Each structure stands twice: as C-alpha cells, then as structure tokens.
Amino acid sequence: MLKKMTPDFAVKESLRENVKFIINVGSSLEGSKKSLEYSRMYENVFASVGVHPHDAEDFKDKELAALEALIRDGYISRNNDIFNDSFTVINEGVSTNSSNKKIVAIGETGFDYFRNLSPKKDQEKAFIKHIELALKYNLPLIVHDRDAHEDTLKILSCYYPDKNKNFKAVVHCFLGDPGFALKCLELGLFISFTGIITFPNAKNLGETVKAVPIDKIFIETDTPYLAPQEKRGQENYPGFVKYVAHKIAEIKNMSVAEVAAITSKNAESFFALV
C-alpha cells in the first residue's frame, strides 16, 4: 500500500523538480472539492472538477449542479484576488485561463469498460453532461478512455471539429495503439502520456508515442499510481513527470529539454495557464 505524501511536500518537491504548474484532477465530488481547496492553498496549483465514469450511475442533476457551483466558486476566488499570479510550467495532469480562475478544466470523464462499475448508458449520459458543462464555461475537457475507444470517438465526434469551435479535449493516460491515436488527432484531440510508457512491457505504447506529433502531446503522472519504472513501488507525484519526458525524448530522438519545452508550451496554451 502506498504511503500518502502530504500536499505540501508534493508541491514543494515538484517545484524543486521544475514543475511550475500542477493540475489536481477531480474524479468525484469530494475529490473535486479537495482539488479546489488545494488550488487555493498554492499559487501554482490548479483544479479540474468531474466525476469518474466508475460513479456515473450516481451522477444525476444534483451532482451536476454541485459541479457547476464549484466552477462558479472557482471564478469568484480568482476574481477576488486571493492569489497573485506568478510561477510559470511542466504539468501534473492536464488546465483554463489562470488569470481569473482556479478551476481550469472539466473531468476526468468518459468511459471505463475495463471495470464497468457503472452501466454503459449511465457513463454515456454523464460524459455528455460533462461535455456540455465544459462548453458552457469554455473549459477544456479531460477524457478518461479505457477499453472504450469506439464509444469515446462516437461521442466526441459530435463536437469535433467544426460543430463547437471552442471545445477542447485531451485523452489522458493514453493507452491506445497508433491507429486509435490517429483517429483522436483527426478530431483535434490532444494526447497525454504517463509513466506507463516507461514500463518494459509497454513497447506497443512506445509505437503510439512515436506516431503522435510532439506538438499534440502532454505529459502527466496520474498520481498517486503509475509511478515510472525508475520509481516503481513508490507513490507517484508530479516531480516524477520528468521520467515521462526522458522516455519520450528517447523514443523520438529528441533532447529532454526540447520535449519539456514543447509539451509545457502545449499545456500552457491549451489550458491558458499563462
């Protein structure tokens, strides 16, 4: 069992590793509230709010209203100047417009057919509600896809590429093959890789990394799990994102500095972090 490190340690150690922005991703109502709370504690921490597809069966109008209330609260926090803008990059997850809000994305949301803890129809309904929320507040979407490539593409194709020009999404913790990745790129999606790409048995995923242009890639940790191979068995945290950058550099025959600079710029621009 992983020993849970404190938020203070994670943030300070990540800064020492040149992680300038951290996005704490919500996967439940309680987790989303915590995300916003942590974002208020640290200038360089931002939040996303959402309910994981595992809990989609219980995602009703009441839960949707609760997420919307958090988003409005996030706007108020920034507009009241509780924090001063500073800091500047490499990112923990995936974020909008840090100049006036602390909640910077919707999600994670999508489909999980690996564990199937909620009926597929409920997952679809919850996914669509999250998408509509992202559109309403002009926020990017963090997409969870596990063993659900076809349905993920089917839903997202209703919004891409020209139907909603302000809609932006990234498939996080990407596990698909190059064919699925290319279909995602055709829809305008971004793709985010985790420490999984460093695992010895992830050679096929390495082919996907090779196929995706560097200007469409984010890097993330998906903490507290999925620590990179060099740190297997340890609790994952944002500072370990450097190992993902190193692996991408190796696969693409680029320098680590190039990978860090480009993927950081991708995230900053996409999520309006600066």
Least confident of 4-8, 64-68, 161-165, 249-253: 161-165
Q: pLDDT category, 164, cuts 50, 70, 90?
A: confident
- What percent of the chain has a predicted confidence (pLDDT) above 70? 88
The average pLDDT across 96-103 equals 57
- What percent of the chain has a predicted confidence (pLDDT) above 90? 80
pLDDT, tens digit, for every residue of 249-264? 999 999 999 999 999 9
pLDDT, residue 84, reads 27
φ/ψ (deg, to 5) at 237: -155, 165
pLDDT > 70? residue 82 = no
Distance CA 177, CA 162 (A): 25
pLDDT > 50? residue 89 = no
- Regarding the domain with residue range 20-270, which homologous superfamily does it belong to in the CATH classification? Metal-dependent hydrolases (3.20.20.140)
pLDDT, residue 4, reads 73
The average pLDDT across 218-225 equals 93
Q: What does pLDDT average to over the chain? A: 88
pLDDT > 60? residue 233 = yes
Look at 165 and 154; give whichever has higher pLDDT. 154
**DSSP for 3-34, written as a single string:** PPPPHHHHHHHHHHTT--BEEE---SHHHHHH
pLDDT > 80? residue 59 = yes
Q: pLDDT category, 76, cuts 50, 70, 90?
A: low
pLDDT > 60? residue 10 = yes
pLDDT > 70? residue 90 = no
What is the domain partition of the chain in residue ranges? 20-270
Edge-to-edge strand list for the sheet holding 22-24: 22-24, 45-49, 103-112, 141-146, 169-171, 190-193, 217-219
pLDDT, residue 73, reads 80
Q: How far is CA 83 from CA 39, 46, 56, 79, 101, in A?
A: 10, 12, 34, 9, 10
Q: What is the pTM of this model?
A: 0.89
Go through the chain and tell me how many residues it has: 274
Distance CA 109, CA 67 (A): 13
What residues contact 107, with CB distance under 8 A and at least 6 apart? 25, 26, 48, 49, 50, 130, 134, 141, 142, 143, 144, 172
